[in-house]
């Protein structure tokens, strides 16, 4: 029997897989809150070793709470945990780890919710996709110096149950560092996806011939971009609504005039999210164009044989 009770708040694609890994590595039933969730989410949670509990029950039973929810829900989840802690007086220490894509300023504001409670607040950032039998994302964590013991306990506990948690320490390490890392990483990776999308749609706006020419030019100058478009754009489409809030948080993180870059990319993801909602089967609108570009890119990737022959060039046909 595990000596700790674990809770993962959020039974989405990432949260459920994190819970499943903890469960499979001996973490016991993973507490979560499923109020108002869909049948699909309830099924996913059950298959991941997750057990429904109220927030009060989670506060009274859990040793460690991982919050893994869409960025727009991160603060409200923390508020509900803080309210449950205040309504359930106890001196028992609980570690709460916010693993969501929010800015350092947001996470510092969130930490203030737990003032006067026995909850130790840790800043976390998941880098990579959901864990599987062959893959384990990195979970970077940071805390204020006075919470170093809780940070070390969380790292040891999580890694013991199969996660890959990396503490950010050294000179100047403090709460907010993990979120800053997440913002910088997402600003590069998801920001690049946003630029891909903006230029793909703009090329189609000019003409289908322009879009085809764009693929040809990339096969000559930046073939690695074709591989990234093939892999990343289809994955992004159903998640675009999540990226909207994330770009807002990155804008706050970047600040200054540079924030406008990410405000623009936020609008790109809003556009894709709206197109996905309007055409879930992607048989019309912007998402249809994006997926057509991806299919054409696959053909280019195969024809160019970039992986084995860097000098091969896709034969452009203007038909």
User: What single string gives the DSSP state of each residue in 60-72?
Assistant: HH-SEEEE---GG
Residue 88 vs residue 260, higher pLDDT: 260
Contacts of 160 (CB under 8 A, 6+ apart): 25
Query: pLDDT-based confidence at 314, cuts 50/70/90?
Result: low
- Tell which residue, 306, 296, 310, has the closest CA to residue 213: 296
Residue 306, pLDDT above cutoff 90: no
63: pLDDT strictly greater than 80: yes
Position 1 scores a pLDDT of 42
Phi first, then psi, for residue 52 (nearest 5°) are -65, 140
pLDDT at 311 exceeding the cut of 90: no
Q: Which comes out higher in pLDDT, residue 212 or 304?
A: 212
Whether 108 and 175 have beta carbons less than 8 Å apart is answered as yes
Measure Cα distances from 1 to 32, 46, 160 in Å.
19, 19, 14
Residue 195, class by beta-carbon neighbours within 10 Å (0-12 exposed, 13-18 middle, 19+ buried)? middle
CA distances from 106 to 20, 54, 142 (A): 28, 25, 14
- Residue 43 reports pLDDT greater than 50: yes
Q: In sequence order, what are the beta bridge partners of 120? A: 95
The pLDDT of residue 9 is: 98
Local confidence band at 317 (pLDDT 50, 70, 90 cut-offs): low
Across the range 202-214, mean pLDDT stands at: 97
* Short-list 12, 30, 305, 9, CA closest to 162: 30
Q: pLDDT band for position 7 (50/70/90)?
A: very high
According to the model, what pLDDT value does residue 214 have?
A: 97
Tell me what pLDDT residue 304 has: 72
The mean of the pLDDT values for the chain is 93
Task: Place 319 in a pLDDT band, splitting at 50, 70 and 90.
Answer: very low
Q: Which residues contact 241 (CB under 8 A, 6 or more apart)?
A: 269, 273, 276
Least confident range from 8-17, 88-97, 181-190, 218-227: namely 88-97
User: What is the rounded CA–CA span in Å between residue 299 and residue 303?
Assistant: 6
User: How large a percentage of the chain has pLDDT more than 70?
Assistant: 95
The count of other CB atoms within 10 Å of the CB of residue 292 is: 15
For 169-204, the DSSP string reads -STT--TTHHHHHHHHHHHHHHHHHHHHHHHHHHHH
Question: pLDDT exceeding 90 applies to what percent of the chain?
Answer: 88
Q: Which two tokens stand for residue 108?
A: 């510092």
Of the candidates 40, 20, 41, 39, which has an alpha carbon nearest to the alpha carbon of residue 30?
20
pTM for the model:
0.89
Mean pLDDT of 1-28: 92
Q: Report yes or no: 102 and 134 within 8 Å, Cβ to Cβ.
A: no
pLDDT digits (tens, 9 = 90+) for 73-130: 999 999 999 999 999 877 789 999 999 999 999 999 999 999 999 999 999 999 999 9
Residue 145 · residue 122 · CB < 8 Å: no
Q: Tell me: the pLDDT tens digits for 220-248?
A: 999 999 999 999 999 999 999 999 999 99
């Amino acid at each position: 029997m595990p000596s700790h009770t674990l809770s993962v708040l959020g039974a989405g694609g990432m949260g459920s897989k994190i819970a499943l890994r903890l469960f499979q590595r001996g973490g016991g039933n993973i507490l979560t809150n499923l109020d108002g969730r869909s049948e699909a989410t309830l099924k996913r949670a059950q298959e991941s070793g997750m057990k429904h509990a109220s927030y009060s029950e989670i506060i009274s039973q859990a040793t460690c709470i991982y919050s893994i929810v869409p960025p727009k829900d991160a603060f409200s989840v923390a508020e509900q945990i803080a309210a449950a802690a205040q309504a359930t007086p106890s001196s028992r220490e609980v570690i709460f780890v916010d693993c969501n894509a929010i800015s350092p300023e947001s996470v510092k504001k969130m930490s203030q919710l737990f003032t006067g409670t026995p909850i130790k607040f840790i800043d976390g950032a998941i880098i990579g996709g959901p864990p599987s039998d062959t893959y384990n994302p990195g979970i970077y964590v940071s805390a204020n110096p006075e919470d170093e013991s809780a940070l070390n306990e969380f790292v040891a506990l999580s890694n013991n149950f199969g996660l890959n948690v990396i503490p950010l320490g050294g000179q100047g390490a403090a709460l907010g560092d993990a979120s800053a890392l997440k913002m910088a990483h997402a600003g590069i990776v998801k920001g690049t996806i946003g630029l891909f999308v903006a230029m793909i749609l703009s090329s189609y706006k000019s003409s289908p011939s322009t879009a085809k020419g764009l693929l040809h030019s990339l096969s000559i100058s930046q073939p690695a971009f074709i591989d990234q478009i093939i892999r990343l754009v289809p994955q992004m489409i159903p998640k675009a609504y999540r990226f909207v809030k994330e770009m807002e948080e990155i804008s706050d993180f970047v600040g200054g005039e540079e924030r406008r870059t990410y405000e623009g990319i936020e609008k790109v993801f809003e556009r894709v999210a709206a197109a996905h909602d309007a055409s879930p089967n992607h048989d019309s609108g912007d998402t249809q164009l994006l997926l057509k570009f991806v299919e054409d890119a696959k053909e280019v990737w195969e024809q160019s044989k970039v992986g084995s022959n860097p000098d091969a060039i896709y034969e452009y046909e203007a038909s």
